[in-house]
Amino acid sequence: MKQLIKNGRVIDPANKIDKIADVLIDEGRIAAIGTNLTAEDAMLIDASGKVVTPGLIDMHVHFREPGQEAKEDFKSGTEAAAAGGYARVATMPNTKPVVDTAALVRGLQKQAEDTGLVHIEIIGALTKGQNGTELAEVGDMAAAGAVAFSDDGHYVQKAKVLLNGLDYLRTFGKIIINHDEETSLVEDGYMNEGHKSAMLGLKGRPTVAEDIAVARDIMLAEYADARVHVAHISSAHAVDIVRQAKKRGVKVTAEVTPQHLTLTEDCVDLTDSATKTNPPLRSQKDVDAMLAGLKDGTIDMIVTDHSPHAEEEKDVEYAYAPSGFPGLETAVGVLLTDLYHTQKADLPLLISKMTAEPARIFGLDAGTLTIGKPADLTILDPNQEWTVEEKNFYTKGTHSPFVGRRLTGKAVLTMVDGRIVMKDGKVIC
């Protein structure tokens, strides 16, 4: 079947395209991009006033399989991804059991093929059980197709273990994604350490915990001449540490979330655990540094850290609630509302950080509208106004700090391998 997308603003950073054009899809692949395209028997899709981009990519989600399907599973998670405009995601291994064997990687790949609406990449654990003491069978998992390795949710405290992992995975061309917070400095902390935490009487998680961890991991990567990726960076000083390391030629990359680009610790409300995240929401100075790092290339990509939890888990006192909230369905709206429409960031920059850059860094055959490539694409309406409502979420987790917000900008179509999986906010299974 052919589809012809007409008169959209096509933004494909990988190919340096930004123009009003038509896109023809034939047999699930990009067939042509140009003006005044025609095709017999093609389904016409009017994209006038809208933006056509490569399918969005999120390299940091938590779909909770195996073992925690009450929070999220591949079906609900990929429905949320499709609803948010994402054609490809990578799921973290901090599940029950931890994804630390090749057999689990292969099993999850089969599950993704059977139930996923969008492409799912599997991230394997760096250490057995994510205990930080012994490397998992990372070579076998790499051979099975694990896209990267991470003990996300856990800081790898033993430098020797991380160095061994960097040395070993360098031979496979794989990246270690590190959750960087020095554990001894954040134990029992619930939010950013500062004036607000003191006023609320909550123990804080200081930015220096992140700074120390990022600096150590960069030094180890530099020593090993290996690649390391900083997960959900949030500290202004940590951004500068990454910036200086890149200038030295260290193979370090970094990601940031919409919440750390737009929300501050002032949003923390003890009556609503939705704002409890890890790392925590920081100060305005840190938020400003995230945007500066995004614009100057220090921060390479935007991820959601989509982390849904069951209703009964989050609906408790702030201190006892788990960290994290769902982000796939709100990311585009938040970024366009708070960054694009405020003229803090332009569309090509945001789209690049959500398509071409993650694909390049993780070696994915994605993130582009190149002729002949699979037709993974997203259509955005940058001016559509909508309100975030729990009842409209496809994710199982509904506690989000963005619930109730009026946003401007939304994904209105998601296509995966030429198949429309979401149109006008409705997921098509």
Residues with catalytic function? 305
Find tokens 């614009």 and name the residue: 295
What are the phi and psi torsion angles at 81 (to 5°)? -60, -50
CA distances, 153 to each of 61, 177, 245, 278 (Å): 12, 11, 24, 8
Copy the structure tokens of residue 359. Answer: 């694909």
Find tokens 């120390």 and name the residue: 212
| Distance from C-alpha of 41 to C-alpha of 47, rounded to nearest angstrom | 18
Burial environment of residue 427 by CB neighbours within 10 A (0 to 12, 13 to 18, 19 or more): middle
Task: Identify whether the C-beta of residue 165 lies closer than 8 Å to the C-beta of residue 140.
Answer: no
| Distance from C-alpha of 355 to C-alpha of 420, rounded to nearest angstrom | 18
Task: Identify whether the C-beta of residue 219 lies closer than 8 Å to the C-beta of residue 267.
Answer: no
CB atoms within 10 A of CB 240: 16
Task: Identify whether the C-beta of residue 181 lies closer than 8 Å to the C-beta of residue 232.
Answer: no
| Distance from C-alpha of 201 to C-alpha of 194, rounded to nearest angstrom | 11
